[in-house]
Amino acid sequence: MLKMAQIQYIKHLYESEGKSLREIAKMLGMNFRTVQKYAYMNNFSPQITPNVDPETYPVLGEYIPAIDEWLEADMREPRKQRHTAQRIYDRLKDEKGFSGCYSSVKRYVAKRKWLLKQDREGFLPLSHPIASSQVDFGDFKYYDSLGRDHEGHALVMSFPNANVGWMQVFPSENQECLLTGMNRIFYHIGGVPVRIRCDNMTTAVAQVLKGTERVISDGFYRFMLHHRFDADFCNPSSGNEKGNVESKVGYDRRNMLVPVPIIDDFEAFNEELLRRCDEDHERPHYIHGKLISELWEEERKHLLTLPEYEYEVFRYEALSPDKYGFVTVDKNKYGLSPEFYGRVIQAKIYYDTVELYFDHHLLKAYDRKYGAREEITDWKQYLPTLLRKPGAVEHTRFFNQMPKLWQEYLRNTHGGERKSVLTLLSEIVADGNAALCDEALELAGQCGRTDADSIRQCYLMISKPENYPQPLKLRADTPRINYRPDLTVYDSLTGGAAL
């Protein structure tokens, strides 16, 4: 559709300057029929709301409730799976016995879709339309399994219409935590809100422009498109615009996080939180009197359907290891073999894991750390380098990570023997059997052998027992033969008596 300024220019060229329709079309690069339409147009009154009163459709009238039901249900589905006018016409004939013409169905469907679109786009900023939610983070304190205290971040998604809400907790407020929490709640409730209101958190908004204009971050935009919801952002310093979720954060913190929780496993704790939030909805609504869970069941029917493919929440980065093999993610260092110095490493950064790849091959997956200047290493990553410098083993910063028995054993080896032992250790790790290192060494010690070849045989016996048959078990009645041959007969061959 042309803008009003373009239409006015067409009218000016046609009526004031006397240009022909073809001249105008050529000048403006427009279709001839478009120019003709607006040059001849005389009525510019605002569009009148289309009439969808069943009484104006004498043949279609009794079928309109069914059409409305189908079209309203379509608003929750992906566009490619919504009803066309033709599909509705076919269903009316096949399922309802409709005998009218297609043109009347097409005309009504077009008008009804227009009205549904206006309803969806006409929400007031502070209203609480059905199937719309609010999202916010709140801080809280928790202890780890060692009794150390940490600051946690609780993501809450609330639905003001039914006054329901769900909480998920994370060690940070980064984008991976935000999107992971929202994604979990979507799948827990079985649908996606039509609209989500949140503040101008940097994980969602890259830049705040004038008025309500925002530059949305790429990661959040991708998440929106995947789930098909719309987002509204509050004015700066206007938390009251999402007052429901602000209240819900405080309510859930008082009821779900008191006393101060001990969190050693965020996955398990979050599963329990979802269950407790569901239980909390079994109470009366503060206005309507009905149970919150009953109001929610009605609202849940209006959610958008879940996407065909679940969204994988991670951030991608290309990293270059330093000469020690470390790559830096959010001010923390993760160790790889120094052999990768100068090469490009691909990192998939989840909220709880950092996966490091080279040429699409997974090198190592580390638990993601949220401190600063932490150094996270894995001794197994450095074995190829240690084979070239076996004398440096005891002086490395990861030596105390190695299996305890092997630490003592390596201290007592030197030169070529140590290199043979490290070669064996590399073979065991390459097989994915690092957990068998101590067991193989213990078995060799029980047999009184500590050389690398003996330890290798013990490792193979443990890791591949099917290749080593059990000793033959003789029957109890098997005769024992006491055979003592006379070896003096060989003296004649040697030319003398046996020594």
Contact 329, 347 (CB under 8 A): yes
The number of CA neighbours under 13 Å toward the Cβ of 203 is: 22
Q: Which two tokens stand for residue 497?
A: 């008596």
341 by DSSP, 3-state: which? coil
Contact 349, 368 (CB under 8 A): yes
Q: Which amino acid is at 345?
A: I
Superfamily for domain range 132-300: Ribonuclease H-like superfamily/Ribonuclease H (3.30.420.10)
Over residues 89-130, the pLDDT tens digits come to: 999 999 989 988 898 898 888 888 887 776 555 444 445 678
Tell me the DSSP string of 114-144.
HHHHHHHH---TT---TTEEEEEEEEEEEE-
Query: What angle do helix axes 266-280 and 243-256 make, rounded to 10 degrees?
Result: 110
* Sheet order of strands, 164-170 included: 164-170, 149-159, 132-143, 195-198, 230-233
Over residues 37-49, the pLDDT tens digits come to: 888 876 654 444 4
Long-range contacts for 356-362 (Cβ within 8 Å, ≥24 apart)? 356/319, 356/327
Query: What whole-number distance in Å separates Cα of residue 175 and Cα of residue 315?
Result: 9
Which of the residue ranges 118-132, 311-325, 433-447 would you say has the lowest mean pLDDT? 118-132
Over residues 188-230, the pLDDT tens digits come to: 999 999 999 988 778 887 776 666 677 788 888 889 889 989 8
Over residues 127-155, the pLDDT tens digits come to: 567 889 999 999 999 999 888 999 999 99
pLDDT of the residue at 125: 45
Q: What angle do CA 190, 192, 195 make, to 5 degrees?
A: 155
Over residues 389-419, the pLDDT tens digits come to: 888 888 888 888 888 888 888 888 888 888 8
- Domain ranges within the chain, ordered by starting residue: 4-40, 54-121, 132-300, 315-377, 383-467
Q: Is the dihedral of CA 107, 113, 117, 118 positive or negative?
A: positive
Query: What whole-number distance in Å separates Cα of residue 149 and Cα of residue 260?
Result: 10
303 by DSSP, 3-state: which? coil
